[in-house]
A and B are shown apart, each in its own frame.
Chain A
Amino acid sequence: MDWFFNFPDMSRSDLREFKKTVDFAFTDFSRSYGAEIEGFFEPLLMFLVWFEKFFINTPWPLIIFGILVLAWIGSRSIPVVIGTFLSFMLIGYFGMWEDTMSTLAIILVATFLCISIGIPLGIAMARNNKIQAVIVPVLDVMQTIPSFVYLIPVVMLLGIGKVPGLIAVCIYAIPPIVRLTNLGIRLVDKDVLEAADSFGANYWQKLFGVQMPLALPTIFAGVNQTIMMALAMVVIASMIGVKGLGLPVLRAISNQYLALGLMNGLAIVVLAIIFDRVTQKFGLRMQKYRSEGKD
């Protein structure tokens, strides 16, 4: 009856052997292909470094002006613009300007990457149920697996630095944009698609002329979520060498610096709120045609 009370597990030596095999296999893999993979990501690294330098080296009044203009274009709302201005002035005043610029750079690059991979993926899922059946569980894993777990292979493969950080952020942040692109396209009214069919629209005309425009508000909700999740990953990414607001937070945790942690944490929150308000207002404006009266 021993098996009834103690789980009949694999022997310790077997288990050790198993783990060793996996570890060695991956180490071998990263030794033999690490350089190639790193080379593959080289352009991305260069772009990221250039982008970060651009943000840090541009005089701060120009950056703030640029951000305010973008906030206005996105939101068309005076309160949002004023809020953005005050937030960035405060961030700068409390000495977090450079870190904020680094974070901004990696968030923007990560978002750009997620959009350019996520939207085509979402479109493919919406088109084909089999593709959807394959990708959905992958997204589930990406969203639920503790981020520390996938940090291990990424670091083994690429070492510590910006690119592995960026990849970690993307793994965490890409699922919403993929899911919501897929959902948005699938939710487009069947009657409207039938009408497009009846007038002889081909697949691409339907996709870009009808499905994408009608799915845009949903897709944009996905972009918004992706940005939010990327910001949430900033602290964890800083553990593997990403500069920015996450690093001081990490330092604050290990040294119990309350003020430092609070300030940098709040700066991340402020960035998140600004991104959220601007993108949400922009998303709302895209569905202008849904409103009743003519403006």
Chain B
Amino acid sequence: MSKNDVLIQVNQLYKIFGENTNEALELVKNNMGKDELLEKCNCVLGLNNINLDINKAKIQVVMGLSGSGKSTLIRHLNRLIEPTSGEILVNNQDILSLSQKKLIQFRQNNMSMVFQKFALFPHKTVLQNVGYGLAVQNIPEKEWNEKAEKWINRVGLDGYETYFPGQLSGGMQQRVGLARALATDAEILLMDEAFSALDPLIRSEMQNILLDLQNELHKTIIFITHDLDEALKIGDRIAILRDGSMVQDSDPQEIIMHPADDYVSDFIKDINRARVIQAKSIMTRTKVKSSGATVKEDMVLEDILQIMSDAPTKPVTIEDSKGKVTGKIEMDNLIEGMKRPKSQGTNITG
């Protein structure tokens, strides 16, 4: 990735909640931990030296358990929360230096947000909710009605324009939330645990809608979640937060193959590796065609296993999306790949 692809840069971002934050900041910079800080200064460490580059037109997932600071981080990007110290650049513009007026314009034009609890306006109809981001820009009503209508159709809610949010199911409400965020045509979409409140089937459906839309719109999406399966499904990159610090920020495959520490290993412990790991992560690099079948680089191990079970001794050939041979996989590689990585510790059961 070249520097030009980076749309959002977060540099040395600190957030401390409480009084005497300047004093506390010094202590944190001198490596004082979260618990000690709470005891000594009565301050809560929200974010601790976060550095993150977010690429244009990609989905950046930020993951962590509750209290890890992920929702705090995303609210810094549109300054719903002000940092204690640090720098946030969007398109090389320092958003922390924006005046209140410029900030409002920035929020209207450049970023929109989808919320965990939907946060729809209960007294406005679906149409008015979706058009809200446009209405606050004083765009003529007829114009925003048209645009809102378009996005309502796009998320599959045509016919519900005059309903109030309270009359819709959770899944439908979040479609409204999504349409509201898309209607402003902002380049950046912030999604704060957007699908966490939905039940699994609806959640999966919403993830697909999001991926469909992303194929078409190429937004820069920052997606917060605590669900690893969701992160792996939609993320182009995954950053993992713990107690306000960034533990790892990398390609999803990389996180599974090489977790940075025990915290991350713990996170990925329960996933079905065969269904997530792709051929390219475990293959032996070679340009020579092997004796077995030929499969694509991004095929998951489960599917490769299915193919290999017909001829276990023949290694499969791996090719990239253009059909060029890039490697091979043998049965041993498959078994090795499905094993949990070493940094996990010794208590391997079953």
Residues of A within 8 A of B (CB): 189, 191-192, 194-202, 205, 209-210, 213-214, 289-294
Contact = CB atoms under 8 A, between A and B. Distances in A.
B59 to A, nearest CB: 19
Contacts of A289: 122-123, 164, 166
Interface stretch (B88-96, B130-138, B237-245): B130-138
Contacts of A194: 80, 115, 119
Given A205-B136, A214-B122, A198 B166 contact: no
A10 B190 CA distance: 70
Contacts of A291: 166
B107 interface: yes
Q: Which of B78, B109, B119, B164 gathers the greatest number of chain A CB atoms within 10 Å? A: B119
Given A199-B184, A200-B105, A192 B167 contact: no
Nearest to B113: A198
A195 B113 contact: yes
B212 to A, nearest CB: 24
Main secondary structure, interface of A, reads helix
Contacts of B132: 196, 199, 201
A205 B135 CA distance: 10
Contacts, number: 71
Contact of B117 (A191, A198, A199): A191
Contacts of A197: 80, 107
Nearest to A291: B166
Contact of B104 (A195, A202, A214, A292): A202
Interface string B109-148: 1011101010111110000000011011100000000000
B163 A294 contact: yes
Given A189-B119, A201-B132, A205-B136, 18 more contacts: A191-B115, A192-B120, A195-B113, A195-B115, A195-B121, A197-B107, A198-B190, A199-B108, A200-B104, A200-B108, A200-B109, A200-B136, A209-B136, A214-B123, A289-B123, A292-B166, A293-B167, A294-B163
Nearest to A289: B164
A199 B111 CA distance: 8
A91 B124 CA distance: 43
Contacts of B180: 199
Contacts of A189: 119
A189 B115 CA distance: 13
Contacts of B137: 200
B106 interface: yes
B54 to A, nearest CB: 18
A209 B138 CA distance: 13
B158 to A, nearest CB: 16
A184 B164 CA distance: 21
Contacts of A192: 119-122
A292 B132 CA distance: 23
Nearest to B184: A199
A199 B167 contact: no
Contacts of B105: 200
> Nearest 8 CB-CB pairs, A to B?
A200-B108, A200-B107, A195-B119, A191-B119, A198-B113, A199-B133, A289-B164, A201-B136
A199 B112 contact: yes
Contacts of A202: 104, 136
B121 A210 contact: yes
Given A192-B119, A197-B107, A200-B105, A290 B166 contact: yes
Interface in B58-102: 78, 80
A8 to B, nearest CB: 44
A258 B218 CA distance: 82
A291 B132 CA distance: 22
Q: Which of A189, A197, A199, A210 gathers the greatest number of chain B CB atoms within 10 Å? A: A199
Contacts of A195: 113, 115, 119-121
18 contacts: A192-B119, A192-B121, A194-B119, A195-B113, A196-B136, A197-B107, A200-B104, A200-B105, A200-B133, A200-B136, A201-B104, A209-B135, A210-B121, A289-B164, A290-B122, A291-B166, A292-B167, A293-B167
B167 A294 contact: yes
A200 B109 CA distance: 9
Given A205-B136, A292-B167, A198 B123 contact: no
B123 A213 contact: yes
A290 B163 CA distance: 11
Interface in B150-192: 163-164, 166-167, 180, 184, 190
Nearest to B138: A205
B272 to A, nearest CB: 34
A287 to B, nearest CB: 8
Contacts of B136: 196, 199-202, 205, 209
A292 to B, nearest CB: 7
Contacts of B78: 198
